[in-house]
Amino acid sequence: MIEQTSLLGFGEAGQAFAQPGVAAFDIATDSPDTRSAKITEFESAGTRWSATPAGALAQADLVLCLVTADQALAAAQRCAPLLKPGTLWLDMNSVAPGTKREAAQVIEASGGRYVDVAVMAPVLPARLGVPLLVAGPHAEAAADALRTYGFTKVAVSGANVGDASAIKMIRSVMVKGLEALTAECVLAAERAGVREAVLASLDASWKEQSWTTRADYNLDRMLVHGTRRAAEMEEVAKTLTDLGVDPALTRGTIQRQREMGALGMTPPDGLTAKLAAIETREEDQAA
C-alpha cells in the first residue's frame, strides 16, 4: 500500500505532477542562487519540501524521479541507499534503455523496486492526464500506484526495464527530427523569400495516411532512388549553405539516402518484408 509519495526533481514535470502533502526534493536547493526561488515553487504547490534527498525519501513508498536526463543515473546512485526496502522507484526521465537498465541495477541492489516509465507527451497542460508507458518486473504494481495517485492514462508496455524507454526514444527520432527538419526548411525558405510558396507546396503534397503506410512508401522510394536522391540532396545542402543555413539535417539525409540506395535491391511489398530484406542485405554486405 502506498502511504507516502515523494517527488525527486521539481522542474516542469515535478510541478505538473505535484499534489499537496507529497514530499519533494530538488537539487536546486543546494545552490544559494536558486534555493529561494525553488522553495517558493515547493510552497506554492503545497509540497513538503526537504533540503536533502534523505529527508524527502525516508518514508517514501513511491518515488517519482523527474530529474534532467543527464542526472537520471546519478540520482539513482545518490538515492538508492536512502530508500526503504520495497520502495517503488519510478524513473520517468527521458533516457536510453541502457541508462535505465544501469539505474535499475543500482536501485534493485539496494532493495528498491525499479520501474521504467516513459512520459509520452508534454506534461503541460495535461498534468496527471499525460499518457504514461510503464515497463519492468514491477510494472503492474507501479501502474496501480500511478492510477491511485491520480494519473488517468497509464499503460503497461512490457515486462523488461527499457521496453517503455525504447518506445519513447525511438519515437523521438521522428518527432524531434521533424521539428529540426522544420526549422532547417523554414529558415531557408524565409531567407530565400519563398516561405509561403514552400509551405503551400507541402500542404498540397502531404497525404493523410498511417505511419505504417508512410514508412513503407518512404523506404520504397529510398531503396529504388536513394543514390539519385542523395545527389539531389547534395544540391539542397549547397542551397542552404548559400543562404547561410547550416544543412545539418540535410547532411544526414544525404548519408541515409545513399546508404539505402547502395543496398541495390528491389523492394518487396509491405513494410515487414522490406525491413527483413534490408536487414538481410546489410548482414550480407557486412560479412
Residue 223, CA distances (Å) to 234, 245, 268 in order: 18, 28, 10
Q: How far apart are the C-alpha atoms of 142 and 154, rounded to whole Å?
A: 10
CB count in 10 Å sphere of residue 124: 11
Cell of 75: 540520482
Distance CA 78, CA 43 (A): 25
Q: Residue 4 corresponds to which amino acid? A: Q
**In this predicted structure, what is the pLDDT of residue 97?**
95
Q: Where are the domains of the chain?
A: 5-160, 167-286
Q: What is the pLDDT of residue 286?
A: 84
Matching CATH number, 167-286, of 2.60.60, 3.40.140, 1.10.1040, 1.20.1540: 1.10.1040
H or E element in which residue 235 lies = helix 211-242
C-alpha–C-alpha distance, residues 69 and 172, integer Å: 14
Instruction: Give the DSSP letter of residue 111.
Output: T
Contact 118/95 with Cβ under 8 angstroms? no
Cα distance between residue 128 and residue 132, in whole Å: 10
Topology agreement, domain 5-160 and domain 167-286: no
pLDDT recorded at residue 184: 96
The pLDDT value recorded for residue 30 is 87
Rounded distance, CA 80 to CA 60, Å?
A: 12
Query: Any idea which fold 5-160 has?
Result: Rossmann fold (3.40.50)
CA geometry: angle 71, 80, 88, nearest 5 deg: 95
Q: What is the pLDDT along the chain (287 residues), one digit of tens a residue?
A: 788 999 999 999 999 999 999 999 999 888 888 989 989 998 999 999 999 999 999 999 999 999 999 999 999 999 999 999 999 999 999 999 999 999 999 999 999 999 999 999 999 999 999 999 999 999 999 999 999 999 999 999 999 999 999 999 999 999 999 999 999 999 999 999 999 999 999 999 988 899 999 999 999 999 999 999 999 999 999 999 999 999 999 999 999 999 999 999 999 999 999 999 999 999 988 87
Q: Which is nearest to 68 in space by CA: 97, 91, 41?
A: 91
Residue 2: its pLDDT value, please? 82
